[in-house]
Amino acid sequence: MSEHLPILMVLVPLLSAPLVVFIKHRKASRVIATLACALSACAAWTLALQMSSAVSYPLGGWRPAIGIELRVDFAGAYVAAIVSTIATFAISLGTRGTREDVVGREMFFYAAFLMCVAGLMGMVVTGDAFNVFVFLEISSLSTYTLVAMGKERRALTAALNYLFLGTLGGTFVLIGIGLMYQMTGTLNAAAVSARIREVEHLRTTHVAFAFLAVGLGIKLAVFPLHQWLPGAYSQAPHAVSSFLAGTATKVMYFQLIRVVVSFFGVAYVFDTLHFGDFLLPLSLVAMFAGSLSAIFQPSLRRLLAYSSIGQVGYLTLALSLGTEAGLNAGLLHLGAHAVTKTALFLIAAAFIAQVGDDRLDRLSGLGKRYPLLSLGFVLGGLSLIGVPGTVGFVSKWALLEAVLAGGRPWLAFLILASSMLAVVYVFRVVEVLYFRAPLANAPPLARERADWGSWVPAGLLVLVSVGLGVWSELPSEYVATAAQSLFGGAR
């Protein structure tokens, strides 16, 4: 059984989706969807904890390169475990925050959600370039629909804009894969990286990499290509925005790492193409522009969305260093930010459920009324800033170390400076929650009682983000192994 784990974590959500549509039962569909995500997470964690080296699974029984190979290394197992776990947490919100016409047709919502999970998991585990594209499109297409299910009409435009940009990104990836295939004659990651040496001086190869990088850059929301993100994250239903915030850009980041490390090779990408020189300035702009915009957002979820653009800047900054330490920091930050941002979106969902609106000023003075929820937000915010004792500190520290090891202290200074901006936008929420008088004329709160569906998962994730900050060797050691095996195989 355990040899099938790589395919099972994709297959369980992928086959639960038609099951949900077939059974057509509103309540059952929620149960099945939750179970499927949990099972997928179990498979991913089992694999992540028991593997001793990269696992290869030949689909259809064909040898790699002839058939499609699933290939899970430490980093892949780590990302897969994060994605499926966050899916399990996010789906606990159910169809909250969706438009009314979803009522009675929840099974399609859950089916789309499951397909989205399956697509992202598939992208992580597959070792075949074209298979990546197929899974990418499964997850993208379901994401567009899920985003459109948000309550306001702006969700529709956010979804359609995402569809245009996302499809262009996907098609760019397709062009890149095609050119790569034309140059190497194969689609398998290992085979491509073995062949790329012979063709790396050719202009077609350069262009292939450029198209893959730009296509994934759109999906990853790298700075000038990020326009889809704020709308999509702030308008989507709560389960969807919590899930996307923690996973979508992270999986694309992991793909970009794999394109750089596993397909084209670090030496080629950084020494020949000078990819770092393009990525570094964009990352810096993203770090500052994203965080600055977050400060001025009127709504909680938009604030968190812009903060994500800034955080993507840290991720790409780590990659642009082109060193093992950078990769290590990037992978750590991927996990840290996934946990933190999902927790914050879940808390935002809980607040919105209480006050019925996601405008920041509606939260005025609610800190005393919801002490635990507000405390959760503060702790999550501290992790976003990177305060010691939180998981955000662990990853930011690794990033600083990587930067200093690369002999660029001014970068370390810029990272600290942009963290100050994070302090500002987090404190802005804290100020509203604790130091403002409650609105005298606010409409009454929707619910008086706590609503466990979103409190429990949010609380658990906050505990995780603090716990991993205290016992920081747990993630650090695993990720260090992952980065080492990824990078070691590349040079």
Partner 1 sequence: METAITVVLFVLLLATAIILGRQRNLFAASMLTGIFSLVSAGLFTVMEAVDVAFTEAAVGAGISTVLMLATLSLTEDVEAREKKISWPALAVVVLTGGALIYGTLDMPNFGDPHAVVHGEIARYYIDRSWDEIGLPNMVTSILASYRGSDTFGELGVVFVAGTSVLLLLGGRRSELPASGESPGHERPSSRPPGKRHAHVREMPVVRTVAKVMLPYIVLFAFYVQAHGDFGPGGGFQAGVILATAFILFGLVFGPQELVRHVPPERLERIMAVGLMIYGGVGVVAMLLGGQFLAYGVFTPSHPSHGHHYGIFMVELGVGITVSAVMIIIYATFATRRPSLAPQVVLDAEDRCETEVSADDVPLVPEERALRSGADLLAEGAAGTDAASEVPS
Partner 2 sequence: MTLPNVWNYWAVVVLMMVGLYIVIAKPNYVKKLMGLSLFQVSVIMLYVSMGRVTGGTAPIYILDDGAPRPFVLYTNPVPHVLMLTAIVVGIATTAVGLALVVRIREAYGSSEEDVVAELDRREVEAANALAAQRAAESDASSATAAHAGASHEEHA
Binding residues vs partner 2 (CB under 8 A): 130, 134, 137, 141, 144-145, 148, 153-154, 156-157, 159-160, 163-164, 167-168, 170-171, 174-175, 178, 181-182, 298, 359, 361, 437, 439-443
Using CB under 8 A as the binding rule, whether residue 138 contacts partner 1 is answered as: yes
Candidates 102, 292, 375, 412: give the one binding partner 1 (CB under 8 A).
102
Which of partner 2, partner 1, none sits in contact with 439, Cβ below 5 to 8 A by type?
A: partner 2
Candidates 53, 60, 410, 440: give the one binding partner 1 (CB under 8 A).
60
Q: How far is the CB of 115 from partner 1 (least distance, A)?
A: 5
Q: How far is the CB of 136 from partner 1 (least distance, A)?
A: 10
| Beta carbons of 56 and 70 less than 8 angstroms apart | yes
How many whole angstroms separate alpha carbon 105 and alpha carbon 199? 52
How many whole angstroms separate alpha carbon 7 and alpha carbon 44? 10
Rounded to whole angstroms, what are the CA distances from 44 to 79, 342, 446, 457, 484? 9, 19, 38, 19, 20
Which of partner 2, partner 1, none sits in contact with 24, Cβ below 5 to 8 A by type?
A: partner 1
Using CB under 8 A as the binding rule, whether residue 39 contacts partner 1 is answered as: no
Q: Which two tokens stand for residue 130?
A: 């074209």
| Beta carbons of 254 and 74 less than 8 angstroms apart | no
Candidates 148, 192, 343, 480: give the one binding partner 1 (CB under 8 A).
148
Q: How far is the CB of 396 from partner 1 (least distance, A)?
A: 35
| Closer residue to partner 2 (CB): 26 or 436 | 436
Check the CA dihedral 179-266-394-278 and report its sign: negative
Helices (H), 24-105: 26-50, 74-91
Nearest to 57 by CA among 43, 68, 44, 47: 68
| Beta carbons of 110 and 129 less than 8 angstroms apart | no
Q: How far is the CB of 488 from partner 2 (least distance, A)?
A: 31
Which of partner 1, partner 2, none sits in contact with 431, Cβ below 5 to 8 A by type?
A: none
| Closer residue to partner 2 (CB): 116 or 486 | 116
**Contact positions with partner 1 (CB under 8 A) in 398-417:** none
Helix, coil or strand: residue 419: helix
How many whole angstroms separate alpha carbon 232 and alpha carbon 82? 21
Using CB under 8 A as the binding rule, whether residue 193 contacts partner 1 is answered as: no
Nearest to 284 by CA among 238, 224, 206, 356: 224
How many whole angstroms separate alpha carbon 88 and alpha carbon 490? 33
Phi-psi region of 94 (alpha: psi -120 to 50; beta: other; left: phi over 0): left
**Contact positions with partner 1 (CB under 8 A) in 1-30:** 4, 7, 11, 14-15, 17-19, 21-22, 24
How many whole angstroms separate alpha carbon 37 and alpha carbon 83? 10
| Closer residue to partner 1 (CB): 19 or 442 | 19
Nearest to 82 by CA among 261, 319, 248, 255: 248
| Size of the chain in residues | 491
Which of partner 1, partner 2, none sits in contact with 7, Cβ below 5 to 8 A by type?
A: partner 1
| Closer residue to partner 1 (CB): 112 or 384 | 112
How many residues bind partner 1 (CB under 8 A)? The answer is 66
Which of partner 2, partner 1, none sits in contact with 171, Cβ below 5 to 8 A by type?
A: partner 2
Which of partner 2, partner 1, none sits in contact with 430, Cβ below 5 to 8 A by type?
A: none
| Closer residue to partner 2 (CB): 212 or 284 | 212
Environment class of 232 (CB within 10 Å of its CB; exposed 0-12, middle 13-18, buried 19+): buried
Using CB under 8 A as the binding rule, whether residue 55 contacts partner 1 is answered as: no
Which of partner 1, partner 2, none sits in contact with 224, Cβ below 5 to 8 A by type?
A: none
How many whole angstroms separate alpha carbon 57 and alpha carbon 72? 9
Rounded to whole angstroms, what are the CA distances from 485 to 21, 71, 141, 491? 41, 13, 33, 11
Q: How far is the CB of 369 from partner 2 (least distance, A)?
A: 16
Candidates 167, 181, 397, 434: give the one binding partner 1 (CB under 8 A).
181
**Contact positions with partner 1 (CB under 8 A) in 106-135:** 108-109, 111-112, 115, 118-119, 122, 126, 130-131, 134-135
Q: How far is the CB of 136 from partner 2 (least distance, A)?
A: 9
Rounded to whole angstroms, what are the CA distances from 196 to 193, 199, 320, 381? 5, 5, 21, 43
How many whole angstroms separate alpha carbon 128 and alpha carbon 109? 29
Q: How far is the CB of 17 from partner 2 (least distance, A)?
A: 15
Candidates 199, 412, 439, 450: give the one binding partner 1 (CB under 8 A).
199
Report the largest interatomic distance among the alpha carbons of the chain, rounded to a whole angstrom: 71
Q: How far is the CB of 362 from partner 1 (least distance, A)?
A: 29
Q: What is the DSSP letter of 71?
A: E
- At position 187, the amino acid (one-letter code) is L
Using CB under 8 A as the binding rule, whether residue 154 contacts partner 1 is answered as: no
The residues of the shown chain that bind partner 1, judged by CB under 8 A, are 4, 7, 11, 14-15, 17-19, 21-22, 24, 57-62, 65-68, 101-102, 105, 108-109, 111-112, 115, 118-119, 122, 126, 130-131, 134-135, 137-138, 141-142, 144-145, 148-149, 175, 179, 181-187, 191, 195, 199, 202-208, 210-211
